[in-house]
Structure 1
């Protein structure tokens, strides 16, 4: 019985919805771009950095961040 419960718990953990947005800290960890640089990109006028605000909090869409990183890589753009 205990083995079955453990297996059920493991299944439930693996079926959690995957995170689709990042905080600045999570985006920095995921992308390798520093938090300070991400904040600069967010605060830059007319930025193409993929973020949105919920109140004062900036969130970054994971898929849009992946696309943005691919774009700047193809452009050989410096940050």
Structure 2
């Protein structure tokens, strides 16, 4: 019984979350347009659209996902 509990505890301890070591590539794809955008203005919508286009072009989102956003990159 103790061995089973210890195995479970050790397994759970190894399954934590931590920040990625480097997000430079993701930042290049996503950009920083969304920072501060609230969707309240035409300018905000352009920022959202630019981000969606980048995610679609990089293949992060599927074609159907991109098509739901007005065909951006699809």
Select the structure with the greater relative contact order (CA < 8 A; seq sep ≥ 6): 1
Same fold (TM over 0.5): no
TM-score of the aligned structures, taking structure 1 as reference length: 0.31
TM-score of the aligned structures, taking structure 2 as reference length: 0.32
Give 1 or 2 for the bigger CA radius of gyration.
2
